[in-house]
Amino acid sequence: MTDAPRNKSLEDRLVDLPVLPSLVSRLIALDMNSESSFDEVIAIAEGEPSFAMRVLSMANSVLLAPNQEITSIPQAVARVGARRISELCSSMALLTTFSPTTRQQRETWLDAIQVAVGARRIAGAIPDCSVEPQDAYMVGLLHDFGRIVLDDFDSEEVRHSDELRLTQSELLVRLEENVIGFSHADAGAAALERWGLPQALAGYVRNHHIYDADAVQVENSLMLQIVQVADRLSVRLQLNPRSVRSDGLASLLELTKDTLSVHPDFPLDRNQLADLAPGIRAETVDLALGLGL
């Protein structure tokens, strides 16, 4: 992307936003509990040769370790699950449209995938959770999409803000608002609205850095909390990648230190998050390889 004028409005930036792949819209609208979901996911995966190749690669990955080689998409969907394959296809479609060309773009996508995986696993670990794990994955995948919208901003102050993003995200939001006039959360939500995606999805993206429950209006407050916790956990996994390779519980507990400070009544405790951390990291690495990141 080329440098953009400092005073370029959010609406101006969205004029050149690529069209959302129709596949993503189809998967978001798909009821994964319906009888037809299995066949529709197969049709989507088989409809694009590059997707089919990566779906088969994922199904045969070391992480899943099948007893015999999987050679067809129906076999892959049966092995991995329609929900997981739909997640993979959504991720591939977005990455194809917004292919990372710089280190910072690649790290943004890696973080998005890790938050998506984390949100799905956290939602799945909560007893009687009101949040569908696949929905949590999609919100996690898109939570920081505004950073891609703002990638061409010419302010060095904002462009080189990785440390703030990882350690003081609330300060980053204020910095963006002061320098640009809006935050990456606003930009991401506006992009989703422009694409005609559900308002609920845009609402989670717009509010993902607001931790005061009384200050936000979202469809499901637990969904927002899950993505926020997954985001904070992903930050700690990025800052301390060796922690998940340690056999000591102390290292994993240190990894989750303060992760729940913004939501003290969260349904999972620090120990449970620590138990989830190695699996989140392992799946993220495996998925990133499968996506070509």
CA 25 from centre of chain: 16
Per-residue pLDDT 10s for the chain (293 aa) are 344 444 467 777 777 788 887 878 888 888 777 878 888 888 888 887 777 888 888 788 756 666 778 888 888 888 888 888 888 888 888 888 888 888 878 888 999 999 999 999 999 999 999 999 989 999 999 999 888 877 755 445 555 555 555 456 667 777 777 777 788 888 899 999 999 889 999 999 999 988 887 888 899 999 999 999 999 899 888 876 666 655 555 667 777 777 888 888 999 998 899 889 989 998 898 888 878 88
Burial of 130 per CB tally in 10 Å (0-12, 13-18, 19+)? exposed
C-alpha closest to that of 197 among 32, 25, 44:
25
Give me the torsion for CA of 248, 251, 252, 257, rounded to 10°. Answer: 150
User: What's the token pair of residue 219?
Assistant: 């469809």
Q: How far apart are CA 223 and CA 36, in angstroms?
A: 26
User: Residues 82, 37: contact at Cβ < 8 Å?
Assistant: yes
- Domain 101-293 belongs in CATH node 3.40.1160.10: no
CA 184 from centre of chain: 15
Q: How far apart are CA 78 and CA 64, in angstroms?
A: 13
Q: How far apart are CA 56 and CA 76, in angstroms?
A: 6
pLDDT at 244: 63
Question: The whole model's pTM is what?
Answer: 0.84
Q: Partners of 153 in the beta sheet?
A: 4
Domain coordinates of the chain in residue numbers? 19-97, 101-293
